[in-house]
């Protein structure tokens, strides 16, 4: 039924109908669709404003039409799925929560005609929702969409597969996304898979794990003979590990309030279903042996690398492993001798800055906003700004001051805190020469060959599904 709605701004309404909710056939509702909203108003003799529900189409992940298996029921149905930001009763924090709106259409005796009307509504909701997703240099994934979803069942607390089945699978079905589930069984399993797979089978590769599995996938793609095309395959991230730094960054780029745990998973699942793809910088790292690795997150030497590796034994604590590891390493704080050079992001191509040889507590290069789910290391970072955020802390900092620094990083205020031992620079390349005989260097949390290295940013080399 197409006519003006008495319950919404008539200038905006593009589709109007009066239907019964599928879960309460005694009630009748006026349903209006505008370019931006899906509006439901319960019909009574005196409509009350409190019975009106207006849902933003930006929060819609999908809408489908169907008939029930009962052949005696001639009605058509359509169900729209939304994940608006709401406050939970026990918390003031905003998080995305599922809302389903399902209606029964039975104006005609012809089942096919009722289904056609339901399909018209479902199609209109999907089309208007897609128009609301357009943003800057983002590109929407084609629909229908096929995804390869790689899950590491051992990551984090070992609950990734359970969380996929309980949280993510339903969202993908609601969004009309078909997926192939691949469960990794060993280290570099995902790397081997994507290196030899026919990528034309899928529109996106999605990782549900910690950050290490995406590191495997990116390097596997770049080891292919057709790497220039392969690395353009859209990538997605769902938090299933203990670090979840990229997942937290992707959520942060959507400008939503901080969330953690399963709320972060729902947020990233929502962004995945929305399917907006953006360019993402990668950083190449040349190791002493000449091997070249590609990184999407971080390069660390000293304190941060030590904590990342040594906290592995606390993996069963989930994200808390890093807090425990930090406290343990603070009790036995090490310093490392080395040399550092960097090329400022805004400087001339030959304007290398040389940091004098000295003792360092840590060197950290970041190219995403978050170092961990609860550590906002580079607040003004973005997916494709062509910038490496270089941090280093020199020897002489007290344990208390270093702890305060990381506590401030939880809110992203560490750069505003007075700390003479902390230096931050925006760079596009760096050279590190460790002089201490022993130490740990990590790339995206993975241990790499120890020794002199060089890193440089490659703007927009990869593509990421983000907000």
pLDDT digits (tens, 9 = 90+) for 256-286: 999 999 999 999 999 999 999 999 999 999 9
- Sequence spans of domains, the chain: 15-133, 139-279, 285-459
What is the CATH T-level fold of the domain 285-459, as seen in this structure?
A: Tumour Suppressor Smad4 (2.60.200)
pLDDT above 60: residue 2: no
- pTM score, two decimals? 0.92
pLDDT digits (tens, 9 = 90+) for 289-332: 999 999 999 999 999 999 988 877 776 676 677 778 788 888 88
Q: Which residues contact 92 (CB under 8 A, 6 or more apart)?
A: none
- Return the pLDDT at 316: 67
pLDDT digits (tens, 9 = 90+) for 175-228: 999 999 999 999 999 999 999 999 999 999 999 998 999 999 999 999 999 999
pLDDT digits (tens, 9 = 90+) for 50-79: 689 999 999 999 999 999 988 889 999 999
The pair of three-digit structure tokens given for residue 184, joined into one six-digit string: 């990794």
- Return the pLDDT at 347: 78
Determine contact, residues 296/221, Cβ cutoff 8 Å.
Answer: no
- Return the pLDDT at 51: 80
- Return the pLDDT at 309: 85
Number of CB atoms found within 10 A of residue 249's CB: 28
- Return the pLDDT at 3: 46
Tell me the CATH number for domain 139-279: 3.40.50.10330
Catalytic machinery residues = 211
pLDDT digits (tens, 9 = 90+) for 180-193: 999 999 999 999 99
Into which CATH architecture does domain 15-133 fall?
Roll (2.30)
Closest to 334 (Cα-Cα) out of 360, 312, 367, 298: 360
Work out the burial of residue 416: count CB atoms within 10 Å of its CB; fewer than 13 is exposed, 13-18 middle, 19 or more buried: exposed
């Amino acid at each position: 039924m197409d006519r003006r709605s008495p319950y919404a701004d008539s200038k905006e309404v593009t589709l109007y109908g009066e239907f019964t909710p599928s879960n309460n056939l005694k009630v009748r509702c006026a349903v209006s669709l505008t370019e931006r909203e899906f509006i439901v108003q319960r019909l009574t003799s005196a409509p009350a404003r409190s019975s009106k529900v207006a849902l933003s189409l930006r929060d819609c992940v999908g809408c489908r039409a169907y008939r029930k298996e009962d052949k005696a029921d001639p009605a058509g149905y359509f169900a729209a799925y939304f994940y608006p930001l709401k406050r939970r009763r026990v918390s003031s924090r905003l998080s995305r929560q599922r809302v389903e709106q399902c209606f029964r259409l039975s104006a005609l005796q012809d089942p096919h005609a009722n289904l056609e009307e339901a399909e018209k509504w479902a199609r209109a909701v999907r089309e208007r929702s897609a128009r609301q997703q357009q943003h800057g240099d983002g590109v929407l994934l084609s629909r229908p969409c096929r995804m390869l979803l790689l899950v590491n069942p051992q990551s984090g607390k070992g609950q990734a597969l359970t969380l996929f089945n309980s949280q993510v699978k339903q969202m993908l079905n609601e969004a009309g996304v078909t997926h192939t589930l691949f469960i990794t069984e060993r280290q570099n399993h995902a790397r081997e898979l994507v290196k030899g797979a026919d990528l034309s089978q899928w529109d996106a590769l999605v990782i549900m794990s910690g950050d290490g599995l995406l590191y495997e996938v990116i390097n596997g793609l770049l080891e292919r003979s057709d790497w220039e095309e392969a690395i353009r395959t859209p990538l997605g991230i769902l938090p299933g590990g203990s670090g979840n730094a990229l997942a937290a960054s992707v959520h942060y780029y959507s400008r939503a309030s901080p969330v953690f745990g399963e709320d972060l998973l729902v947020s990233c699942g929502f962004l995945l279903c929305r399917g907006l793809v953006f360019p993402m910088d990668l950083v190449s790292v040349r190791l002493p042996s000449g091997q070249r690795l590609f990184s999407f997150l971080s390069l660390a030497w000293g304190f941060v690398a030590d904590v990342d590796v040594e906290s592995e034994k606390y993996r069963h604590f989930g994200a808390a492993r890093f807090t425990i590891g930090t406290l343990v390493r603070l009790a036995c704080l090490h310093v490392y001798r080395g040399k550092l050079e960097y090329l400022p992001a805004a400087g001339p191509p030959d304007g290398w800055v040389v940091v004098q040889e000295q003792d360092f507590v840590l060197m950290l290069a970041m190219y995403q906003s978050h170092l961990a789910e609860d550590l906002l290391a580079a607040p003004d970072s973005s997916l494709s700004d062509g910038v490496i955020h270089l941090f280093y802390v020199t020897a002489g900092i007290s344990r208390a001051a270093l702890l305060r620094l990381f506590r401030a990083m939880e809110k992203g205020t560490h750069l505003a805190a007075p700390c003479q031992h902390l230096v931050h620079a925006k760079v596009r390349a760096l050279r590190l020469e460790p002089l201490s005989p022993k130490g740990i260097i990590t790339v995206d949390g993975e241990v790499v060959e120890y020794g002199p290295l060089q890193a440089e940013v490659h703007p927009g080399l990869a593509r990421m599904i983000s907000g």
